[in-house]
Structure formats: C-alpha cells, structure tokens
Amino acid sequence: MANQVIPHSLFSEFDVALFQSGKHFKLYEKFGSHELEVEGERGVYFAVWAPNAKSVSVTGNFNFWDKGSHPLHVRWDTSGIWEGFIPGIANGETYKYCIQTSSGEELEKGDPFAFKWEVAPKTASIVHSNWYEWNDGNWMKERIVKNRLDQPWSVYELHLGSWARDPESPDTLLNYREIAVQLVAYVKEMNFTHVEFMPLMEHPYYPSWGYQITGYFAASSRYGSAQDLMFLIEALHAAGIGVLLDWVPSHFPGDAHGLYRFDGTSLYEHEDPRKGFHPDWQSYIFNYGRNEVRSFLISNAFYWLDRFHIDGLRVDAVASMLYLDYSRNAGEWIPNEFGGNENLEAVQFLKEFNEAVYAHFPDVQTIAEESTSWPGVSKPTYAGGLGFGMKWMMGWMHDTLDYFKEDPINRKYHHDRITFATVYAFHENFMLPLSHDEVVYGKQPLIYKMPGDEWQKFANLRALYLFMYTFLGTKLLFMGGEFGQTSEWNVNQSLDWHLLEFMPHQGMKKFVADLNATYQQQPSLFQKAFDASGFEWIDAGDRENSVLVYWRKAFDQWDDTVVVINLTPVVREDFRIGLPYAGEWEVVLSSDDLKYFGSGVCSQHVASEHLHWMNQVQSAQVNLPPLGGYILKRKKVVKEAVPVKPGERVPL
C-alpha cells in the first residue's frame, strides 16, 4: 500500500532505560498513537510493548483491516518496543494491533495506551488527541490549600451512568457535557467539597461499574470524548469542587482485546495463577515485580493527574494487593521469600507510586481502600508507611451500620460497637465511607438498614449522618444516600429522583446540605480530623440511655463544639451533660429540626452551671430529641470598650 510504515521513534535511550527500570512516569507521551509530522508528511506514530511477539502490525479502516500490510519495526535494544510512523492517517482512525506470538497464534489487541476506544461492545482503539485548553487556573492554584488534610473533605461518590438519566430516554446514558450543568449545580447545592467518580476508564462490561478496565488511558466513550470529560472536570473546578477518581491498579479482566496475555505470554500479569489470577473477580493481577509494569501503572496515575487535572486518586482494592493469600485457601498461594503472606512487590510498588505522585503533584491526595489492619497505610514511606494521604475506615463503617441496624431497645447491649473506633482512630488518616458497596447485592439502601417505622427510619439515618460528620476523619457518602434512596443501587437506571416529591426525602436532602455546610463552617470538625487532640469523649459509657456526648476541638478553643446524640426514640428532658467551658452555648445544627422531618425537640440556648458532671467542671440541663442530636457551640464573649479620659491608664 502507498502509506507504508516509516521507521521513526519518540523514545530516546534514556526513555528506554527509565522504562526498563520502572522509573518512566510519562509513558503516555511515548507509547500509543500520536498524530504528528515526519519529514513533511502528516500521519500517526504507533508504539507498543510486546517483547515476546514474533511480529506486530497495525490494522484498521485505513488498510481494510489487512493484518500484513503495515508491520511495525522492533527496536534494536531488546526493549520489546515495536514502533513506526504511518503517513496519511489522522485522529479518528480506528485500529488494533495484530500480534503474532512465538507459538504462531495471531492476536488482535487494543492499544494499552490508546486515548480513546470504540463504544462497547466494539473493541478497537481510536487515534485521538487529549489536548484541551484548560480554564481552571484559579482552582489549580488554590487546591494546595483546599486539598490539605486540615481542611474539610466531604466527598460525594457517584457512578456517572446511573446518577441521572433523561426520563424521556431512561436507557440512554448522558454525555459528560450533558450531565455537567445538572451535576455541578446539585453538588454545589448540597455543599459537598469533592466528588469521587467510580472508574471512568474504558471497560467492556458495563455492570462491572468500571472496575474491569481494558483502556487505562481512555475516558469511557460511553459518555463522550476525553475533552467532554475535561469540560465536566473544569465545570466542577469552576464551582470550587474537587474531583477524585477511582483508580484500579489491582487487577484487570481476561478480555481478549485487553492486557491479558498481551503478546501471547503473561506480560502484565503473573504466569502462575496462584499469583496472577484473582478468584473473587475472575480477573488477573498485575506483576508488580516487573519494572515495565510499574512504569505503566504509575504513568497511568500521572496521566489522570496531569492531563485531566484530577485532584486525587482513590486506589481500589489495596488489601487484595498487599496479601498473597487474599481470598485464597491453603495451597492456593505462594509465600514470599521470607515465608510470609505479604506481597512484597506490591508493597514496594505502592510506596513508589505514592512517592512519585506526591513529588510531582504535591497538591493532590491518594486514598487507599484498605480493609485490614496493615500498619502505616497513610503514613509517609520514610516512616515505614505505604505513603497514602488517607485510608478508608472500613471498620467504622461496618461497626456503625451494624449498630444502627439494631432496634433501639437493644442498642444498650451493643454500645461498644459505636464507640470502639476511637481505640484505633488515630493510627491512620481515616476517611469515613458510606460507599456504593454497602447499598448493593442485597445489602439494602441505607434508609432500609434503619429500624422502625418511616419516621424512625429517617430520624435514625439523620442521626447516623450527624454522628459521621461530627466524628473523626473525613467523610464520603454514596449518591442517593443524601435523600434516602429507597431501592438498592442499580447500575442500569437513574437514582429515584421522584422521591424528592415527598417530605421525608426533602427533609433528608435539606439536612445533608446543611450538615455539609456546618461541617465546613466549624473548624473543630475538620482542623484536627486525624489528631487525638481534636477529639475527647465527655461520656462514652452511657449504654443504658444510648447517649453519646463528645467534644471536638479546633486550633482556637472558641471554635470548639460539643456533640450530643440520643440513639433511642425516647425524648430525654432536663438531661444533664458535661461541658468543657463556662458560658452560653447555642445549637448550631439539630438533626431533629422540623424542617428536616424531625419532631422539633431541641434546647436552642444552653447556659452552663458550675456543677461538675461527666468529668467536666461545667454542665447544663438539655432536652434530647428522639433518635437525634445536635451540635453545641459556645457564644463568644465580646467585651465592651471602656472609655478612657486623656492621661488615664487603659484598664487591663
């Protein structure tokens, strides 16, 4: 054919050396398909890693999918990189790599570095530019403050395709741009500080929720182009909302067109299924001991942070990476060199990943979904930790939900479950998640985990949210939970927005919006989120009444707050609580307010007495609402200026 493959390379010897040593973190600038000009001709440069292939060629619409007409050239340096420039084609061209294996088998593979893929069930890659003229400079300058760990983090987790759909066409997914106006306005109204998108990388099986990825460098074409996603991110940034993205370096599917046995060998995964196959998800585990694989994965993290201005990565399934025997029986796993069950290669990878991310993007955060007691997940690597910024507090989530599922009459027998988290709360920088995993697979939506009649269910859930937002750590809530979604999350349909026609759901939505606002307005609730000096139980042992009283502390004691929550449906009048300071206290927020579908029982103003109670020198009698509570804050005393005559000394 006329447009044959011209030898050309974007790789320097230094690039190759970095790639082979696991230290090249911007491989997306080299691998994949890139439109450019060579010797005066426009065309596309292709590069792919397939070290065990006998030959690699590019097939596509441009050559009528002829597998032999455009063979790539293998580099001389044993790097296993095949590359070449094909003139006369451009962005928008559909292609695959035809790989002939050492055994003579022919494979058709998508490009691991493609910036765009066809919409599933089609499987080809597409030459695509990810250039975008960003207009979020103000946010990018400010996020070094917004993303600090002494700032409020209230994260709204969502799955883009099932958050909202056009009621006139409920089976059609909205485009990134179409959803932007509605989503940005809603997140802003609800006062969340960040959104967290479940994976938006290309994935062939929609019900995998995005966690079975084939196109690690491609925004899913189901919702539009890379530029459409950038538009959405920019719109969120313009509204002052940070954007987190789920990232999945733990496993990938055995899709015939993806990474699995890419060149006829286990290139990205381990050859031995005891290390390379994931029994839970029927997927394949990355070989973290292979330098080129580490370069691929860290480059992928950089890609989303660099090109898409992502503000943080929530790393999925970290526990499955750390343990060689994760979900395996005896004899189904291989111990490490010391005979233990720790995956030392994965540990080293996670440390390198976090060190690289924070070195190059110091104003972002990495967050680990890690469900075990592995020490130091969110501690710096120089202190022996894995280097994450935060870790999901799975134990808190499970204990708290188990407690709230109990009938209030039985809660006094389970009181330790609601208070136990403070035993280990300061070992890590914890984020408190009420995530998608808790409202699917028969686990019920949050509102139906709550006991009692309709009023009690909503009161319980508001009390749970009040506890969550005033407890330690940062916060994450899955979509639908903010208005009391009554059906389990279904990836194939929109949230039940029609529920907002009803008062209980309106009240819940209003409460969460106000709770988010209060959380951000009260420094005591976030300034020392991970510090033992920021939290003190005033009374953690009142199991008989199921009442919690605790003190949240800020940098300035005038910003301190006291939280009191009654977890039974009994109104407790003239209930005495200890207070850390003398003075008048006022209710900042009550979960039982009438506007939230509450009963309106509240002590609006509280004056302390010099009466020792609950180990505090001050105390006060308050009215406690049923299945509810409130946040108290001391009124600031402002001294009046004393007039001074000329020549007189100013009184102290």
Lookup: tokens for 288: 């973290």
Residue 296 near residue 290 (C-beta atoms within 8 A):
no
Q: Alpha helices of 324-483 — where are they, by DSSP H?
A: 344-360, 394-405, 415-419, 446-449, 454-470
Spatial distance between the Cα atoms of 630 and 501, rounded to a whole number of angstroms: 27
Q: Which three-class secondary structure state does DSSP give residue 323?
A: strand
Widest CA span in the chain: 103
The 10 Å Cβ neighbour count of residue 351 is 18
Sort 501 into a burial class: Cβ within 10 Å, 0-12 / 13-18 / 19+. exposed
Spatial distance between the Cα atoms of 317 and 199, rounded to a whole number of angstroms: 13
Q: Which three-class secondary structure state does DSSP give residue 70?
A: coil
Q: List residues bridging with 217 in a β-sheet.
A: none
Spatial distance between the Cα atoms of 577 and 15, rounded to a whole number of angstroms: 65
Residue 192 near residue 474 (C-beta atoms within 8 A):
no
Residue 214 near residue 253 (C-beta atoms within 8 A):
yes
Spatial distance between the Cα atoms of 23 and 34, rounded to a whole number of angstroms: 22
Q: Which helix (H) or strand (E) holds 141?
A: helix 137-146
Q: Alpha helices of 203-307 — where are they, by DSSP H?
A: 226-238, 273-276, 291-307
Residues 6+ apart with CB under 8 A from 196: 155, 156, 157, 158, 244, 245, 246, 314, 476
Spatial distance between the Cα atoms of 576 and 204, rounded to a whole number of angstroms: 59
Residue 46 near residue 129 (C-beta atoms within 8 A):
no
Phi, psi of 557 (to 5 degrees): -65, -20
Spatial distance between the Cα atoms of 555 and 418, rounded to a whole number of angstroms: 26
Spatial distance between the Cα atoms of 149 and 405, rounded to a whole number of angstroms: 31
Catalytic residue among 316, 438, 514, 559: 316
Lookup: tokens for 284: 């394949």
Spatial distance between the Cα atoms of 346 and 250, rounded to a whole number of angstroms: 9
Tell me the pairing of strands 32-38 and 41-49. Answer: antiparallel
Tokens 């460098």: give the residue.
217
What CA–CA distances, in Å, run from 521 to 46, 249, 350, 463?
A: 52, 36, 35, 19
Residue 404 near residue 449 (C-beta atoms within 8 A):
yes
Answer positive or negative: Cα dihedral of 397, 403, 408, 411. negative
Residue 527 near residue 515 (C-beta atoms within 8 A):
no
User: Catalytic site residue 648?
Assistant: no
Catalytic residue among 369, 370, 514, 593: 369
User: Catalytic site residue 369?
Assistant: yes
Query: Omega of the bond prior to 121 within 30 degrees of 0, cis?
Result: yes
Spatial distance between the Cα atoms of 597 and 246, rounded to a whole number of angstroms: 34
Answer positive or negative: Cα dihedral of 193, 195, 294, 227. negative
DSSP 427: S
List, by residue number, the catalytic residues.
Answer: 316, 369
